[in-house]
Amino acid sequence: MGLIRGLLDRIVLVVAVIAGGLLPSFAAQYRQRVGGRLDQVLQDLAPFQEIANRYHRGSLEALVKHHLASPDPTFHDEGAAIQAMMDAAAQLRAAYEALQGTLLQQLTWLVTRGDPEIARATWEIYQPAFGLDTESLVFAAVFGVVVWLVFLAVWAGLGAIGSAITSRGRARMSPHTRVRAG
């Protein structure tokens, strides 16, 4: 059993270090996808910004209000579409800025506030890469050790539970533990 645990814990450590080393490239590719989406929505908003510059002193909000106030349903719906693009641009800009911090800040943001759709799209074309910069190497080592320690703790806990169950089973079957009536 010791040989199996020894082999498993080394495999867990190596796999965890490699996984930890691949996470920075996923964060970078996610950030690039967010940046690309932001560029696209800003490009889509550019013609409306030109209209706002001509007729509403550069205010996209005023252009949207003008559209929404129209009794023409097409014009009204166009205002809602412009507003949706403005909202998307604001969300993407905030995400892009959040992804400019340290690696730990980026990964924390991805786990707690990342967009599942963008994460899924990033994963579909993800190209694994192991960063060799100091921050990526330290993260990989720390991540690997933490996962390895969790594995060791779980293994020890399961071993203790197994020993307790085995010793209780032996105690029940032992003739010395039976009390004679009499």
In which element (H, E) is residue 12 found? helix 2-55
Residue 129 lies in a domain: yes
Interval 24-74: pLDDT, tens: 999 999 999 999 999 999 999 999 999 999 999 999 999 999 999 999 999
User: How many structural domains comprise the chain?
Assistant: 1
Would you state the pLDDT for residue 20? Answer: 95
Answer yes or no: is pLDDT of 178 > 80. no
Structure tokens given for 28: 């970078």
Rounded to an integer, what distance in angstroms lies between the CA atom of residue 139 and that of residue 143?
Answer: 6
Residue 100 lies in a domain: yes
174 pLDDT band (50/70/90 cuts)? low
3-state helix, strand, coil in the chain (%, to 5): 85, 0, 15
Rounded to an integer, what distance in angstroms lies between the CA atom of residue 127 and that of residue 124?
Answer: 9
Residue 161 lies in a domain: yes
Residue 182 lies in a domain: no
Would you state the pLDDT for residue 40? Answer: 98
Would you state the pLDDT for residue 65? Answer: 97
Q: How far is CA 168 from CA 20, 121, 159, 165, in A?
A: 41, 52, 14, 5
| Containing structural domain, residue 18 | 2-177
DSSP state of 128: -
Would you state the pLDDT for residue 70? Answer: 93
Residue 162 lies in a domain: yes
Which segments of 18-130 are extended strands (E)?
Answer: none
User: Rounded to the nearest 10 degrees, how much is the dihedral formed by the CA atoms of 57, 63, 69, 71?
Assistant: 120
Answer yes or no: is pLDDT of 163 > 90. no
Interval 121-158: pLDDT, tens: 999 999 999 989 999 999 999 999 999 999 999 988 98
Answer yes or no: is pLDDT of 167 > 80. no
96 pLDDT band (50/70/90 cuts)? very high
99 Cβ neighbours under 8 A, 6+ residues apart: 27, 30, 31, 34, 106, 109, 110
Would you state the pLDDT for residue 117? Answer: 97
User: Cβ distance 143 to 16 under 8 Å?
Assistant: yes
Mean pLDDT value of segment 111-128? 97
Q: How far is CA 176 from CA 67, 170, 173, 181, in A?
A: 90, 11, 9, 14
Answer yes or no: is pLDDT of 180 > 70. no
| Cα 140 from chain centre | 16
Answer yes or no: is pLDDT of 182 > 90. no
